[in-house]
Amino acid sequence: MIRTGIYGATGYTGFELIHILRRHPEVSVVFATSKSYAGARLSHVFPVPWDLPLVAEADADPGAVEAVFCCLPHGAAMQTVVTARQTGAKVVDLSADFRLRDATVYQQWYGLEHAAPGLLPGAVYGLPEVHRREIEQADLVANPGCYPTSILLALYPLLRAGLVADGPIIADSKSGVSGAGRKPSLKTHFVEANENFSPYNIGRAHRHLPEMAQEITRLGGRGEALIFSPHLTPVDRGILSTIYVPVSPAETLHTLHNIFNETYADEPFIWLLPEGQLATMAHAVRTNLCALSLTLVEPGQLIVCSAIDNLVKGAAGQAVQNFNLMFGLEETLGLADL
């Protein structure tokens, strides 16, 4: 049993993580912190009968655990990660604090000076389908954003094969409301979000853009080609990204399908739909799957639909997948039968 601590257990991501870890056969949760609910039990915060005690961060001892999941907001995560790493615990950080390799870019997008730039070179971007080998060796994994997970997994086979052509890559993404967190706001008030559908931060304004651009460029593409438009959808959970990619006009739907098939042949959490089917949120919600479908509009114009659960493959599930890799466990442990 791997002794594990959770920072930020009472947001939706932290709660989903606890939900997953309860089924994980190799994990014991040693502590779970909460700023708002320290001293209470989890059953006071969520409608579940689990008696997990919640402690203040100051009362959690990272030295007592081998693994830390950090579900704190960006900015707040940095120092906690530093402390945990100093005790020797391996860390999966679900915030944005260690995703960008360049501290300047971080400061530019998040408006904060990075407190631990020295950790950035060693932090691995935790997309197992792309960086599995590095994750297995890592002590610090930066869990990708939810939108980036859905979009990068859709682009990876094309980038890897060098098939992305010139022109803008347009990712039109739709997310459930849990992606906005648990803190009440007018935007997430039931009466405002229900029976509505809203774009926000579209174009190149959303903070998930730079990590996608970084990864696209690392994979040989042009990160600056990406246009990204998130929208709020009145569902609890799920992301569907409809991604318009210019590709080499020599490819047919069939050859493109084969490329995806080969790239993801052994991936337990990629579900490439048969030709003719389209990925929907329902294909992925409450699983760690990324469901993908391909539609070739005309030679050179591909649409990839990519569906994940923002809280699972887009956050807590992928964090556990990374954890499994970091500790040499079966990658699907705790994740196969959500």
Residues carrying an active site annotation: 146
User: Applying CB under 8 A, which part among 108-116, 137-145, 258-266, 297-305 lies near its own copies?
Assistant: 297-305
- Write down the residue that tokens 């209470």 correspond to: 40
Element (H, E) at 182: none
Supply angle C-alpha 139, 26, 48, rounded to 5.
105
Separation CA 304–CA 256 (nearest Å): 11
Residues 6+ apart with CB under 8 A from 272: 257, 260, 261, 264, 292, 293
Interaction of residue 295 with its own copies, rule CB under 8 A: yes
Q: Which of 33, 150, 178, 263 binds its own copies (CB under 8 A)?
A: 178
| Beta carbon nearer to its own copies, 279 or 326 | 279
Query: Quick one: which of 10, 149, 233, 310 contacts its own copies (CB under 8 A)?
Result: 233
| Residues 6 or more apart whose Cβ sits within 8 Å of residue 205 | none
Q: Which is nearer to its own copies, 80 or 229 (CB)?
A: 229
Tokens of 238: 């799920």
Q: Rounded to 5 degrees, what are φ and ψ at 51?
A: -95, 25
Q: Binder to its own copies among 13, 33, 150, 242 (CB under 8 A)?
A: 242
Contact between 334 and 172 (Cβ < 8 Å): no
Cα–Cα–Cα angle for 251, 257, 259, rounded to 5 degrees = 80
Stretch that binds its own copies, among 75-83, 87-95, 155-163, 195-203 (CB under 8 A): 195-203
Chain-centre distance for alpha carbon 158: 20
240 part of the interface to its own copies, by CB under 8 A: yes
Q: What is the CA radius of gyration of the chain?
A: 19
* 22 bridge partner residues: none
* Token couple for 224: 């600056």
Based on the shown chain and the rule CB under 8 A, indicate whether residue 165 belongs to the binding site for its own copies: no
How many residues of this chain interact with its own copies, rule: CB under 8 A? 63
Measured from the CB atom, the residue of 58 and 186 that comes closer to its own copies is: 186
Sole binder of its own copies in the list 32, 124, 193, 212 (CB under 8 A):
193
- With CB under 8 A as the contact rule, which of the stretches 95-103, 114-122, 168-176, 318-326 interacts with its own copies? 168-176
Among 1, 51, 58, 184, binds its own copies (CB under 8 A): 184
Report which residue type is found at 141: V
| Residue 320 interacts with its own copies (CB under 8 A): yes or no | no
Binding residue for its own copies, selected from 177, 245, 256, 329, defined by CB under 8 A: 177
Shortest approach of its own copies to residue 107 CB, angstroms? 22
Select the residue interacting with its own copies from 38, 82, 227, 333 (CB under 8 A): 227
186 burial type by CB count under 10 A (0-12 exposed, 13-18 middle, 19+ buried): exposed
Whether 252 and 163 have beta carbons less than 8 Å apart is answered as no
Q: Closer to its own copies at the Cβ: 115 or 278?
A: 278
Mask for 19-58, x = binds its own copies (CB under 8 A)? ---xx-----------------------xxx---------
What residue has token string 């509009």?
297
Closest CB to its own copies among residues 83, 280: 280
Q: Are 70 and 7 in contact (CB under 8 A)?
A: yes
The stretch near its own copies (CB under 8 A) out of 26-34, 113-121, 183-191, 215-223 is 183-191
CA dihedral for 114, 116, 117, 122, sign (positive or negative): negative
Q: Which residues sit at the interface with its own copies, rule CB under 8 A?
A: 12, 22-23, 47-49, 167-168, 170, 172, 174, 176-178, 182, 184-186, 188-200, 202-204, 227, 229, 231, 233-236, 238, 240, 242, 244, 271, 278-283, 285, 289, 291, 295-298, 301, 303, 305, 337
